[in-house]
């Protein structure tokens, strides 16, 4: 006997690993390399599309706490991420090709995981199944999911461009992390003065955008965490200066002063030959990206290895259909995992795969499911997916606001975050 896992993305690979490490055979179905979604280019599993950052590294933060909980639960993806990390200040970022390659190798070489190449167009007839086909599920199988789950919701997601390091004009840039955290070489900073910024902003808001051909193009829901930079810019002249182009914590060594606005570039690989335009997710046409972003002095001769893209992500109305173990309420042998469940973010998706895998294995062995306490970040996210009471269910990433309040009020923000993390990890250890 075996457990089916559909999809070899972040959630699917983590689920497969958790099932297999418990001595259960896995059949992992993946349509790559025979067929790729529009936003994918690599044949490897766990391809990171939008960014190579896995968010904050320090445990005294929501994202860092989530990752530490995953480490303590034996996460494969955290093992690989830690080994493939690249400088990113206070964040954990990875060489995306090395990361995907390492995960792929470990999955393919596990004796209890059988990888079956080809597109899945329907639910398997036999065995416990974890559906982790992702927000870019093929049209044929998406229709089956919609039919089985009574409809779906969706929003639009966007990715930022990537440029070569050698094409960045370092005479117009400097290396530093905000407030000198994480080493001087973590980010390349592209400063702009007031006149340069205002000209750039005017060009950005008037630039031509790429058409979208999705059926709901007239009324898209755009997730705030991946909002295209041109839409942010349209909210006001200074919106970018308080968002992705905020200059706080940075000082231009050429002038000795804080710039008017700054675009940060984060390294994409360990060789530091490629850099991502941080916070510059976009749906501009490719020539417009080159023209408008070229108005930033350091990028006037930039060479793009990938332009920004925008695509539709699909997620379920999970509180109506899923439990906190990520199994369907009306079918305990059918699990869902990943971003389609309503978690937002790379590691949030992987964490849902971890829990779905653990619980699929428990179901296989006729054991009770693992439902983590709400005081843990994974438990809180699982509870949100299963029990969110909002009529307008929307994806949720790790944040301290979904954790139960602390016993006493702590005024200092950092101390409060540290107290949340301490409580969560203590409870997780005792629960494990």
User: Which percentage of the chain shows pLDDT scores above 70?
Assistant: 93
The SS3 of residue 33 is coil
Give the strand pairing for 153-159 and 309-315.
antiparallel
Does 24 lie in the same domain as 91? yes
Number of structural domains found in the chain: 2
* pLDDT in the model for residue 38: 58
CATH number (domain holding residue 266) = 2.40.30
Burial of 202 (0-12, 13-18, 19+ CB in 10 A): middle
Distance of CA 163 to the CA centre of its chain: 20
Mean pLDDT of the chain: 90
Question: In the prediction, which pLDDT does 217 show?
Answer: 40
Same domain as 148, residue 165: no
| pLDDT, mean of residues 412-417 | 89
* Least confident stretch, 38-47, 324-333, 354-363: 38-47
- In a shared domain, residues 296 and 331: no
Cβ neighbourhood burial of 414 (10 Å; 0-12, 13-18, 19+): exposed
Among 312, 329, 360, identify where a domain stops.
312
Comparing 47-51, 152-156, 245-249, 342-346, the range with the smallest average pLDDT is 152-156
**Domain boundary residue among 295, 312, 329?**
312
* Same domain, yes or no: 163 and 297: yes
Residue 312: which of 83, 126, 37, 80 has the closest Cα? 37
Ranking 113-122, 209-218, 375-384, 399-408 by mean pLDDT, the lowest is 209-218
Q: Are residues 269 and 400 in the same domain?
A: no
Whether residue 205 contacts residue 197, with contact meaning beta carbons closer than 8 Å, is answered with no
Which pLDDT value is given to residue 314?
78
Clarify whether residues 285 and 329 are in a common domain: no
- Whether 305 and 322 map to the same domain: the answer is no
> Which pLDDT belongs to residue 97?
92
Phi, psi (degrees; rounded to nearest 5) at 392? -115, 75
Same domain assignment for residues 244 and 262: yes
Answer yes or no: do 89 and 212 share one domain: no
Which one has a higher pLDDT value, 223 or 427?
427
Q: What is the mean pLDDT of residues 269-277?
A: 84
**Mean predicted confidence (pLDDT) in 254-265:** 95
CB-based burial of residue 390 (10 Å sphere; 0-12 exposed, 13-18 middle, 19+ buried)?
exposed
Three-class DSSP labels, 172-235: HCEECCHHHCCCCCCEEEEEECHHHHHHHHHHHHHCCECCCCCCCCCCCCECHHHCCHHHHHCC
**CATH code: domain of residue 72:** 3.50.50.60
pLDDT-derived band at 39, boundaries 50, 70, 90: low
Whether the CA torsion 208, 211, 216, 221 is positive or negative: it is negative
Label residue 291 by pLDDT band (50, 70, 90).
very high
Query: What is the span of the domain harbouring residue 192?
Result: 159-312
Are residues 378 and 254 part of one domain? no
- Are 266 and 201 in the same domain? yes
- What DSSP character marks residue 96? H
CB distance 311 to 38 below 8 Å: yes
Q: What is the pLDDT of residue 51?
A: 82
Residue 72 pLDDT class (50, 70, 90 cuts): very high
Summarize the confidence of residues 271-292 as an average pLDDT.
91
Residue 258 has pLDDT above 90, yes or no: yes
pLDDT in tens, 165-218: 989 999 999 999 888 776 656 799 999 999 999 999 999 999 999 876 443 343
Rg of the chain's alpha carbons, rounded to an integer? 22
Residue 388 to residues 253, 319, 321, 339, 346, Cα–Cα distance (Å): 48, 6, 12, 16, 21
Q: Kindly state whether residues 48 and 124 are assigned to the same domain.
A: yes
- Which one of 312, 337, 368 terminates a domain? 312
Indicate whether 275 pLDDT > 50.
yes
Quote the tokens at residue 41.
């280019």
């Amino acid at each position: 006997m075996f457990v089916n896992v559909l999809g070899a993305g972040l959630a699917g690979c983590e689920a497969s690993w958790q099932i297999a490490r418990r001595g259960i055979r896995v059949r992992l179905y993946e349509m790559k390399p025979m067929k790729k979604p529009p936003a994918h280019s690599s044949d490897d599993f766990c391809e990171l599309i939008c960014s190579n950052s896995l968010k904050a590294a320090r445990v005294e933060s929501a994202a860092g706490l989530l990752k530490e909980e995953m480490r303590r639960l034996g996460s494969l993806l955290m093992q690989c991420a830690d080994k493939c990390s690249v400088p990113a200040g206070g964040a954990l970022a990875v060489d995306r090709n090395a990361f995907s390659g390492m995960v792929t190798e470990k999955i393919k070489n596990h004796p209890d995981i059988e990888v079956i190449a080809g597109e899945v167009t329907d639910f398997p007839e036999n065995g416990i199944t974890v559906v982790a086909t992702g927000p870019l599920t093929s049209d044929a199988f998406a229709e089956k999911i919609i039919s089985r789950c009574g409809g779906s919701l969706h929003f639009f997601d966007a990715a930022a461009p990537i440029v070569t390091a050698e094409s960045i004009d370092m005479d117009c840039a400097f290396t530093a992390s905000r407030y000198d955290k994480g080493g001087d070489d973590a980010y390349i900073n592209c400063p702009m003065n007031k006149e340069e910024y205002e000209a750039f902003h005017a060009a950005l808001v008037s630039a031509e955008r790429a058409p979208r051909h999705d059926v709901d193009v007239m009324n898209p829901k755009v997730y705030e965490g991946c909002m295209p930079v041109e839409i942010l810019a349209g909210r006001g002249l200074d919106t970018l200066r308080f968002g992705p182009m905020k200059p706080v914590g940075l000082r231009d060594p050429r002038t000795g002063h804080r710039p008017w606005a700054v675009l940060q570039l984060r390294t994409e690989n360990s060789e530091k030959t490629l850099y991502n335009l941080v916070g510059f997710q976009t749906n501009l046409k490719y020539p417009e990206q080159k023209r408008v972003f070229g108005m930033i002095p350091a990028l006037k001769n930039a060479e793009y290895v990938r332009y920004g893209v925008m695509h539709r992500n699909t997620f379920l109305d999970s509180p109506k259909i899923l439990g906190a173990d990520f199994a369907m309420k009306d079918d305990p042998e059918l699990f869902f995992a990943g971003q389609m469940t309503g978690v937002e973010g790379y590691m949030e998706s992987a964490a849902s795969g971890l829990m779905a895998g653990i619980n699929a294995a428990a179901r296989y062995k006729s054991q009770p499911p693992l439902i983590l306490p709400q005081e843990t970040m994974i438990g809180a996210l699982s509870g949100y997916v299963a029990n969110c009471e909002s009529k307008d269910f929307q994806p949720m990433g790790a944040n301290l606001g979904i954790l139960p309040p602390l016993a006493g009020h702590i005024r200092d923000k950092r101390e409060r975050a540290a107290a949340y993390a301490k409580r969560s990890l203590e409870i997780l250890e005792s629960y494990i």
